[in-house]
Amino acid sequence: MCGIVGYVGEETGAKDIILGGLKSLEYRGYDSAGIAMICDKKIVTKKKVGVISNLEKIIGDPEFDSNIGIGHTRWATHGVPSDLNAHPHCNMDNTVAVVHNGIIENYMEIKEELLRDHDITFKSETDSEVIAHLIGVYYDECGDLHDAVTKATKRMRGTYAIVVMSSKEPDKIIGVRKDAPLVAGIGKGCNFLASDIPAFLKYSGQVYFIENNEIVVVTKDEIKIYDEDKKEIHRDVFHVTWDVDAAEKAGYEHFMLKEIHEQPIGIEETLTRRLTDSGEINLDGISMTKEDIEKFDKIYIVACGTAYHAGLVGKYAIEKMAKITVETDVASEFRYRDPLIDEKTLFIAISQSGETQDTLQALRLAKSKGARVLSVVNVIGSSVARESDDVFYTWAGPEIAVASTKAYTTQLVCMYLIALYMARTKGTIDNAYYDRMITELKNIPEKLEMIFSQEKDIEKIAEEFHRNNEIFFIGRGVDSTVSLEGSLKLKEISYINSFAIAAGELKHGTIALVENGTLFFALATQDSLTEKMGSNIEEIKARGAYVISIAKEGNELISNLSDRCIFIPKCADEVSPLLTVVPLQIFAYYVAKFRGCNIDKPKNLAKSVTVE
């Protein structure tokens, strides 16, 4: 959430560079946008509620440009979306401008002090404005921007990434990171600060990852990183291996549709990078011996949203294959129930961005109690990755749409590989089973292409039912976990009230909601549970439900009981989630399209949730 872009260079043109950077960060979610630049030795700020195009309409003046500036897309936490609450924020005499991602938890304490002791006038309802005023007060005392920022951040509690500039030191921008992402980009005759790499990837693929409690001072010629005591830190440069084209739509109408269709490639990449020619699994150099695995008496898989749903499938796979007790939990609740963690615990964190604040805080708790931490993330160098003992990267490539698709399926592949590796090492599966599962995984990309051949049929179903105001998803076994993800995708981008439930639980309350025409998606891909699912379908059909089933090819029992049936290619029950979820993603996409929704940037949602 919130996008930050800072630029300082030799020539003017900051406006277009910052604006382009903000557009590349739109996937993070936002409700307003703004830019501040130093023009003729003064800070000039332009900001507007709504989409970036609204901002573009008010910054056309050719006089409004510079060689230095900061920009921001805001996702509201304090104060309603408005022009006044949009960033950047400035101090009283307009000599300091700040953009901020995160929450300042003690902002009221600071605000009251500023009102009492300095007669500050506040213009916005945000917590962020106090940062600009606080830095301004310290600057007046010490006359040095670096010192003023250092003193201000020592007063602030909470989560933040901030970028600051001052008209009194018009050659630099300064950034600080505390539990919110911040990266520095090394350009030619220019340098950058941003929330994420795509903001400057057009100009630079050389990156410094800024760590917690570090301050970075950026001029056109150099980037210097300091700790809280102003001691310089030397950092290796990270070289980005993907280019800006990977973050473009490539002819698709929406990023989400493109990313749905990229799943075969992402799965193949995630697999082939980890399998040797002989079919052995290489966990990115992670050393996990038989003794290590046998020491674990419990595994926690902790994540949020779609990643949590991937964790539920991971629990199923690890327990079935490696025979270790696994507990899957939502990260936002994990810390608050005093979980039983010790040195015999393996903690697996799953996060697409690697910046999910709830997951990060849960990870830190587990690590503090002695657990070994293994993370499954998509973003190299992210906070979760850097703070884990072991990292297992997905190879989904950049995922831009807020609603996650290819990240989910590549996370599933990672969980299957972890489960198989642990089971093979521990000796709980034989070679025949291992070889069969590896073959099943290798065949998934080709089978996904077979599902894409049904896309037009799924689109027609979406068109027929896009006006429904409620839809239910049911399944048994691992299908019940996929039903949760199908329901989430639909509500995320179409705003339909969808509900997922284990099919066996219908009779314990939910069946009271079934009436003539109630739409159900029934996931019935588990061979051993076909008859049970058939009974559940008959239960709801008897009460007037309209049932669209997803089943394996040749399953006539489910097909005959259902009003419609979408078939997936035959596969082992264990890996069926990799196929079953895709028709649900496609359905959600087209329902949202027919409803006229903003598919890539759904309302109130952000790609990376960096506040608790």
∠ CA 37-43-47, nearest 5°, is: 65
- Residues facing 226 on adjacent strands: 215, 232
Distance between CA atoms of residues 600 and 585, nearest Å:
13
Of the candidates 505, 568, 565, the one whose C-alpha atom is nearest the C-alpha of residue 540 is 505
Q: Choosing from 48, 111, 315, 607, which is the catalytic residue? A: 607
- Report the SS3 class of residue 22: helix
157 vs 150: CA distance, rounded Å: 13
Task: Look up residue 76 and give its two tokens.
Answer: 């509201």
Q: In which residue are the tokens 């963690």 written?
A: 341
2 is catalytic: yes
φ, ψ for residue 356, nearest 5 deg = -60, 115
Q: Map tokens 């007046």 to a residue.
A: 140
How many of the other CB atoms lie within 10 Å of CB of 253? Answer: 12
Encoded tokens for 355: 């910046």
367 is catalytic: no
Q: In angstroms, how far is the first alpha carbon of the chain from the final one?
A: 12
> Of 2, 39, 304, 414, which is the active-site residue?
2
Q: What is the CA radius of gyration of the chain?
A: 26
Among residues 123, 28, 133, 127, the alpha carbon closest in space to that of 71 is found at 28
CA separation for the pair 107, 20 (Å, rounded):
31
Cα distances (angstroms) measured from residue 478 to each of 67, 601, 605: 55, 29, 27
User: Which residues are designated catalytic?
Assistant: 2, 607
